[in-house]
Amino acid sequence: MSVSRRGFLGVLGGTALGAASFASLVLPGAAGQTAELVRSRARLPEPFTVPLPVPPVARPVRPDHYVITQRAASVEILPGLRTPILGYDGMFPGPTVVSRRGRRTVVTHRNELPVPTAVHLHGGHTPAEHDGYPTDLVLPPDWHDHAGHAGNVASGQRDYVYPCRQRAATLWYHDHRMDFTGPQVYRGLAGFHLVHDDEEDALPLPKGERDIPLMITDRAFEEDGSFAYPALDPSTRVRPGVEDEYMEGVLGDVILVNGAPWPVLEVATARYRLRLLNASNARRYRLSVPGTPLVQTGSDGGLLARPVAHDELTIAPGERFDVVLDLTERSPGEELTMRNLLGSGSTAQVMRFRVTSRVRDDSAVPARLSSVPRPDPADAVRTREWRFTRGDIGDHGGWLVNGAPFDPARIDADVSLGDLEIWRVVSDLHHPVHVHLDPFQVLSRGGDPPAPADAGWKDTVDVRPNEYVELGVRFTDYEGLFLLHCHNLEHEDMAMMSTFRTG
Ligand code: C2O
Ligand code: CU
Ligand code: CU
């Protein structure tokens, strides 16, 4: 949204301005974003030439128990170049963990990286000690220079226990280390965690290889293929933060889906369930597949009550939309492109579907999917306001919640388990606001009824500049300290995070 001095001068420098309006020149790159672009220096592939990878499903070491090793690796993202990553099992995205509702899943995370980490299961209904609070670190086994922020710190490895008492949904896990989440996720620490249940299995939605998770991220690359991220301390060992001009957020000019640049997927004349996740640090997308609606069947927190057809869907960092793409009326030879209507040039395209075979498909999208009871605002015990704004932290700029920077030693709200509360989230710029522990429903947006894309249970909501959104939230089961924060990861690292205590 805001246009930095650098972006503006870049445009002026390369163009004879004439009488062209400021907006028409600048907005195509900056539209719908609170962030700044890093340009790649590497040679980039032609779009739609790299096949879409699907992350492998993690194999348990015994039933419901997984071991994931966080390690550095070098992978081929851009054809012919190597990119050093920090990866779960050395992969980006990490392996997909699959859980069954109500079956306790344990994931042992081993840290073989040169930096501390914290693992958060985003969308998980998880006890506080396993939620990846940013100071509950897993240190590398030989880490000695760890200073400050005493949390519940483990050395070398830690077991994360997930009771999975929650609906089937598309969750994801990612790094949540205090002050360093942005650079560590950017370098690869993100993966899917899917929860399945009987209710969803009983529906005729596309399944198996036609149920595909799509992790969408943007990245920029140096000439040698390494990720370009404007960290003040590229080792992310000591000093947090990014160069000043990127304080609003870091955008890349390459769109990756499941870690591949503008990939192509060969498809049949069938329905596909796409689990869309925006795992980008700061970029918002407006996705569209011209010629075919995106029929939404699920939100962050699982099935909607009934499907909602969208011509375009805006997805902010942290959000998920499960959609069905119906290709049953297509013919081999046809191609459909997923576009990003908020992008321009290289960022305007996401991926392509190439129809290569004809099949019979008996999947369907039923008119009724699940029951999603609306919280009744009349039952709310209170309304709390959370203001997400830019502000100063000491002598530098940062991002604040209710006027204060994140401090793990401070509790900003006490909430009783079982109470329905209305949380009114107020923003100055774009802030994708995420709440841990339990999903919420959007009650209103700017005083108006929720938008079609706000439907269902959510844990992340796209709050736009000068907007307020009212959420109905009710926390259940687990006492302790949980987070509410902006999921623009640069904002999060620059303190736009707050702790609430349930009890
Ligand atoms: Cu996906 Cu607290 O984050
Ligand atoms: Cu979360
Ligand atoms: Cu923000």
The secondary structure of 2-66 as a DSSP string is ---HHHHHHHHHHS--TT--HHHHHHHHHTT-SSEEPPP-SPPPPTT-SBPP-PPBPPPSBTTEE
Summarize the confidence of residues 282-300 as an average pLDDT: 98
Q: What is the CATH number of domain 208-357?
A: 2.60.40.420
Ligand 1 atom closest to residue 174's alpha carbon, by position in its atom list:
1
The CATH number of domain 53-201, selected from 3.40.50.360, 3.10.20.30, 1.10.3720.10, 2.60.40.420: 2.60.40.420
Ligand 1 atom closest to residue 436's alpha carbon, by position in its atom list:
2
Ligand 1 atom closest to residue 460's alpha carbon, by position in its atom list:
1
Q: Indicate which ligand has the atom closest to the C-alpha of 185.
A: 1
* pLDDT at residue number 28: 37
Where in the chain is CATH 2.60.40.420? 53-201, 208-357, 377-502
Ligand 1 centre and the CA of 135: distance in Å? 14
Ligand 1 centre and the CA of 120: distance in Å? 6
Residue type, 242: V
* pLDDT at residue number 13: 29
Summarize the confidence of residues 485-498 as an average pLDDT: 98
Q: Which of 116-125, 237-246, 462-471 has the lowest mean pLDDT?
A: 237-246
Summarize the confidence of residues 110-124 as an average pLDDT: 98
Structure tokens of 463? Answer: 């709050």
Q: Indicate which ligand has the atom closest to the C-alpha of 490.
A: 3
- For 32-60, what is each residue's pLDDT tens digit? 999 999 999 999 999 999 999 999 999 99
* pLDDT at residue number 145: 61
Its pTM stands at 0.94
- For 403-422, what is each residue's pLDDT tens digit? 999 999 999 999 999 999 99
What is the number of residues in the chain? 503
Nearest alpha carbon, ligand 1 atom 3 = 122
The position carrying tokens 């709200």 is 413
Ligand 1 atom closest to residue 318's alpha carbon, by position in its atom list:
1
pLDDT above 60 (res 3): no
Structure tokens of 36? Answer: 């700044």
Q: Which residues line ligand 1 (CB under 6 A)?
A: 120, 122, 174, 176, 318, 434, 436, 483, 485, 487
* pLDDT at residue number 142: 85
pLDDT above 60 (res 16): no
- For 321-359, what is each residue's pLDDT tens digit? 999 999 999 999 999 999 999 999 999 999 999 999 999
Structure tokens of 193? Answer: 């965690």
Ligand 2 centre and the CA of 196: distance in Å? 19
DSSP 186: H
Q: Indicate which ligand has the atom closest to the C-alpha of 399.
A: 3
DSSP 106: E
Ligand 3 centre and the CA of 285: distance in Å? 16
Question: For residue 31, how many other CB atoms are within 10 A of its CB?
Answer: 15
Q: What is the CATH number of domain 377-502?
A: 2.60.40.420
DSSP string, 205-230: ---GGGEEEEEEEEE-B-TTS-B---
Ligand 1 centre and the CA of 397: distance in Å? 22
Ligand 1 atom closest to residue 485's alpha carbon, by position in its atom list:
2
Residue type, 271: R
Structure tokens of 403? Answer: 């006027």
Helix residue ranges per DSSP H, 98-165: none
Ligand 3 centre and the CA of 485: distance in Å? 8
Ligand 3 centre and the CA of 24: distance in Å? 25
Whole-angstrom Cα distance, residue 249 to residue 354? 34
Structure tokens of 90? Answer: 């050395």
Ligand 2 centre and the CA of 231: distance in Å? 23
Q: Indicate which ligand has the atom closest to the C-alpha of 173.
A: 1
pLDDT above 90 (res 29): no
Ligand 1 centre and the CA of 412: distance in Å? 18
Q: For a pLDDT cut of 70, what percent of the chain falls above it?
A: 93
* pLDDT at residue number 31: 78
Ligand 1 atom closest to residue 122's alpha carbon, by position in its atom list:
1
* pLDDT at residue number 200: 98
Ligand 1 atom closest to residue 123's alpha carbon, by position in its atom list:
1
Cβ atoms of residues 296 and 303 within 8 Å: no
pLDDT above 80 (res 4): no
* pLDDT at residue number 143: 85
Ligand 1 atom closest to residue 483's alpha carbon, by position in its atom list:
2
Nearest alpha carbon, ligand 1 atom 1 = 122
Ligand 1 centre and the CA of 271: distance in Å? 31
Torsion of CA 376, 382, 387, 388, to 10 degrees: -50
Q: Indicate which ligand has the atom closest to the C-alpha of 123.
A: 2
Structure tokens of 249? Answer: 């957020």
Summarize the confidence of residues 461-469 as an average pLDDT: 97
pLDDT above 80 (res 121): yes
Q: Indicate which ligand has the atom closest to the C-alpha of 134.
A: 1
* pLDDT at residue number 149: 60
Summarize the confidence of residues 130-144 as an average pLDDT: 93
